[in-house]
Amino acid sequence: MFSPPPEGIAFPDWAYKPESSPGSRQIQLWHFILELLQKEEYQGVIAWQGDYGEFVIKDPDEVARLWGIRKCKPHMNYDKLSRALRYYYNKRILHKTKGKRFTYKFNFSKVVLVNYPLLDMAIPPGKIAQAPLS
């Protein structure tokens, strides 16, 4: 039969964007990719590959167009989109699966931390811990 959706890579809740507090930033690129990946209607353009967090882009131009619409950038294209993705390598949010075409992998360890900085709020009185992130 057709391969059932791998249960391990489905996004529970923590993958969602904490979204906008007033004055927040706009949606980041990986949030948008996550949103597309969670919808079956986009499996024609982007879908999970197999391993944990690995996904493959089937229609880069389609993804790029949707992303462009989202950001009001009508001249978006996979070349520019992937450029932003490449900057994510250094941020440890994404990685590239080499050998395959249009295949990337999410770095959940970092994604969770980025999404939930508020989870670590155990601050002992009198001492403020500061994480030298980003």
| Chain positions contacting DNA, by CB under 7 A | 25, 28-30, 67-68, 71, 73, 75-76, 79-84, 86-89, 91, 96, 98, 100-103, 134
- Closest separation in Å from C-beta 1 to DNA: 29
- Closest separation in Å from C-beta 10 to DNA: 22
Q: 29 and 125 in contact (C-beta within 8 Å)?
A: no
Task: Report the relative pairing of strands 94-96 and 46-48 from DSSP bridges.
Answer: unpaired
52 or 87: CB nearest DNA: 87
Q: 89 and 82 in contact (C-beta within 8 Å)?
A: no
- Closest separation in Å from C-beta 89 to DNA: 5
CA distances from 46 to 41, 62, 115 (A): 9, 9, 22
